[in-house]
Amino acid sequence: MKMFVGGRWQGSPEEIDVVAPYSGSVVDRIPLATAAQVEEALSTAQRGAAIMRRLPGATRAEVLRRAADLLDADAEDVARTISLETGKPISEARGEAGRLGDMFRLASFEGTQVRGETLPLDAQPGAEGKLGFTLRIPTGVVVAITPYNYPGLLVVHKIAPALAAGNAVILKPASQAPLTALAITARLIEAGLPEPALQTITGGGRRVGMPLVRDPRVRKVSFTGSTRVGEEITRVAGIKRLSLELGANCPMVVMPDCDFEVAAAASAAGGYVNAGQVCISLQRVIVHEAVYEDYLDALRGPVAAIRMGDPLVEDTKISSMISEDEAARVEDWIDEAVAAGARVIIGGERDGARLAPTVVADVEPGMKLSDQEVFGPTLGVTKAENVDHAIALANDSSYGLGAGIFTRDINHAMRFVREVDAGNVHVNWTPLWRADLMPYGGLKGSGIGKEGIRYAVEEMTEMKTVVIHGLDR
């Protein structure tokens, strides 16, 4: 597979394998971009930005709608690519591929809704007779850097609003799963996007990502990935706009007044979709002591029913993690918790990159399963004495992306919504829920800024203030 740089598909002297995590077989090879190719991407993007800012909104919208239709027509192929390169079950990959067209359609609309406002300048003495208003303008060159876990969805959450708003984009997808991004790029070019407006460059974070982040020709970096890399980006970016969608260890509180069978069934989805490799995966379940053992009992059945296997087999619900190293890391964290007094209720077995859906009870702050981001198919369950204790435990984290509570008590729900520091808070569901139009982004170490198409369009435009001075007064 070639990358799309400088308006053409090109290879590179060095390549790396893209490996299917489940089978270990090589799916394809991708170029590792050279320094000269990074430079070509940057200079082309500058030309692209000049073209895009002059392209009328209606034309941009039409191109995005055409790309949406092409992606819908090829959704099954795109789903297979997603499943192969990530190990994600095909049913989930179809869900992801099926959303991409609609996201481009939503962006095509939101890109035509960018508005400024008039300014009441005459409210300040001495400013009478002037006309003031704001214009929102494209930021220019946007660098979009994406992780492996949703190689279609998270790419489109960046490039669709960026292009809709009239920017040029350099996309650097994750090296483990770059093929979906290249497939989306091909559909956009086929749809008539000016070639310099989008470049998809492949290679590692240090060699390709970093020089892009550093470069002063780039006005905006939109990054989704780990908090560690997000911090590195803040240190080197210089004067740029940053959107950072980072890590998390999302909590959910279970109160005794809820139907804990429903809460348990929801947990069995929220903790294990995409083998727990979702930034809003449910990781920490905080259960009121009155229903602690009942909740654990109720969880066993739904977790045991999660079918493990080949991602391309229709009824597989969980497959391998992205790599054996990642699965071994999560296994180590489970062992560490058990050594410190936690109990494995179900799961815990590992075979290479495949880790069985696992529930660990009696997890406490101080254990990695509680303090760090697991990003694997493991729920840690912690006992709380009352709602105050539960809220304190939920907030006992350096992250703040998603959170949920199951309760029928409106007062508990209101306290949770107000007091838990997370960007997305759910009442009567797990944190693992997202609509593409809603504002989405973390507090604390989970990041800066919001995605969700309308909000990303806003972040990918800048405000210019215009004052017209009447000279005939």
Residues in contact with ligand NAD by the rule CB under 6 A: 145-149, 154, 172-175, 204-206, 209-210, 213, 224-226, 229, 232-233, 245-248, 279, 373, 375, 401, 442, 446-447
Task: Kindly state the smallest distance separating residue 353's Cβ from ligand NAD, in Å.
Answer: 14
Q: Indicate the residue among 67 and 279 with the shorter CB distance to ligand NAD.
A: 279
Question: Which residue, 111 or 447, has its beta carbon nearer to ligand NAD?
Answer: 447
As measured in angstroms, the least distance from the Cβ of 73 to ligand NAD is 27
Single-letter code of the amino acid located at 5: V
If the CB atoms of residues 145 and 165 are measured against ligand NAD, the closer one turns out to be 145
**CA dist 376 → 28, 73, 373 (Å):** 25, 32, 9
Measured at CB, which residue is nearest to ligand NAD? 205
Nearest to 59 by CA among 157, 158, 192, 189: 192
Phi and psi torsions of 24, nearest 5°: 80, 5
Q: Which of 264, 153, 144, 159 is nearest to 213 (CA)?
A: 144
Q: Toward ligand NAD, which CB reaches closer, 224 or 358?
A: 224
* d(C-alpha 336, C-alpha 331), whole Å: 9
Tokens 């654990």 found at = 296
Least CB distance to ligand NAD at residue 355 (A)? 16
Concerning whether 258 is annotated as a catalytic residue, the answer is no
Task: Find residue 466's DSSP bridge partners.
Answer: 133
Q: Exposed (0-12), middle (13-18) or buried (19+): which is 113, by Cβ within 10 Å? A: exposed
**Is the CB of 74 or the CB of 326 nearer to ligand NAD?**
326
Q: Which is nearer to ligand NAD, 134 or 226 (CB)?
A: 226
Q: Where are the beta strands (DSSP E) in 75-180?
A: 118-119, 130-138, 141-145, 168-172
The least CB distance from residue 173 to ligand NAD, in Å, is: 6
Quote the DSSP letter at residue 429. Answer: S
Number of residues that this document lists for the chain: 473
**Cβ atoms within 10 Å, residue 242:** 17
Q: How far is the CB of 439 from ligand NAD (least distance, A)?
A: 12
C-beta of residue 177 within 8 angstroms of C-beta of residue 152? no
Give the residue carrying structure tokens 């400088």: 6
245 is catalytic: yes
Query: Residues 40, 110, 245, 326: which is the catalytic one?
Result: 245
Beta strands 141-145 and 343-346, pairing class: unpaired
Q: How far is the CB of 33 from ligand NAD (least distance, A)?
A: 12
Phi, psi of 408 (to 5 degrees): -105, 0
Q: Considering the candidates 40, 92, 250, 279, report the single residue annotated as catalytic.
A: 279
Per-residue DSSP letter, 196? G
* Nearer to ligand NAD (CB atom), residue 42 or residue 191: 42
Across the strands, what pairs with 19?
Answer: 26
Burial of 130 (0-12, 13-18, 19+ CB in 10 A): middle
Catalytic sites, residue numbers: 245, 279
